[in-house]
Amino acid sequence: MKLDKIAKLTGTIELVSGLHIGSGNTEMHIGGTDNPVIKNPVTNQPYIPGSSLKGKMRSLMEWHAGTVSISDGKPLGIKHIDRLNGNREQGIEILRLFGYAPTGTNDDESLVREIGPTRLAFWDCELDSGWVDEMREKNLLLTETKMENSIDRIKGTAENPRNTERVPAGARFNFQLTLKVIDGEDLLEPVLRGLKLVELSGLGGSISRGYGKVAFRGLQLDGEPVQARLEQVEV
């Protein structure tokens, strides 16, 4: 195997609806929200962790490839490949892109060589500085607090009020990932398929309640436009 280059896929993630990716903060703050979003500890600005995007994209691609039942709901691994039958090629693509956890001496050495090293690396997506400037010029905050409650089906009254912090619709994040190109292979198509699945499904929490609708804009691979290829992807 020969590493030909490391390609860079860049663009913008635009929020179509409010996004909540939780911080896991268990502290109580006076006047704070019940469920804050994750923020950069230096800038205190919200961001999208690369791990969140990677995890969601991989999960959706595994569902799309029909591997979830075969792997019993666990991440696809090298031991599952021989059971994929007609979906073997998609399974190989997923492991090439995202990698897998070795199982030790029982790993099929021929499969290990066929799959090779992990190709994709995801980066944290910081807020676009232009959007931040727009919000400051309008004296607007970078997040919003959405109030929610549950409804008693018999009484028709609101119960259990809670609030959730979100990054509002219209926010823009800088998106970047890198893709190792080995032996002249072209894995851009499955990468774009994964991004399209994220667009269709959503990102972050509370997607069933309308959160997390995103769109990828202005995609470029090493400076060359590939947005049109994303728009043509059918899943």
User: pLDDT tens across 168-181, in order?
Assistant: 999 999 999 999 99
Cα–Cα dist 34/165, whole Å? 8
What is the pLDDT of the chain when averaged over all its residues? 89
Please state the rounded mean pLDDT for residues 145-154: 78
Cα–Cα dist 103/112, whole Å? 11
Burial of 13 (0-12, 13-18, 19+ CB in 10 A): buried
Q: Which two tokens stand for residue 133?
A: 């400037």
Instruction: Assess contact for 10 and 219: CB atoms under 8 A.
Output: yes
Question: What ranges make up the beta strands (E) of 28-153?
Answer: 47-48, 120-122, 125-126, 144-151
Q: Is residue 159 over pLDDT 80? A: no
Instruction: Assess contact for 221 and 8: CB atoms under 8 A.
Output: yes
Q: Which residues contact 130 (CB under 8 A, 6 or more apart)?
A: 172
Instruction: Assess contact for 20 and 212: CB atoms under 8 A.
Output: yes
pLDDT category of residue 105 using cuts at 50, 70 and 90? low
Of the listed ranges 41-50, 51-60, 87-96, the one predicted with least confidence: 87-96
Please tell me the predicted confidence (pLDDT) of residue 15.
97
Of the listed ranges 3-17, 25-39, 58-72, 122-136, the one predicted with least confidence: 25-39
Cα–Cα dist 121/225, whole Å? 20
Q: How many residues does the chain have?
A: 235
Please tell me the predicted confidence (pLDDT) of residue 1.
84
Query: Structural domain of residue 24, as residue ranges?
Result: 3-231
Please state the pTM of the whole predicted model. Answer: 0.88
Number of domains in the chain: 1
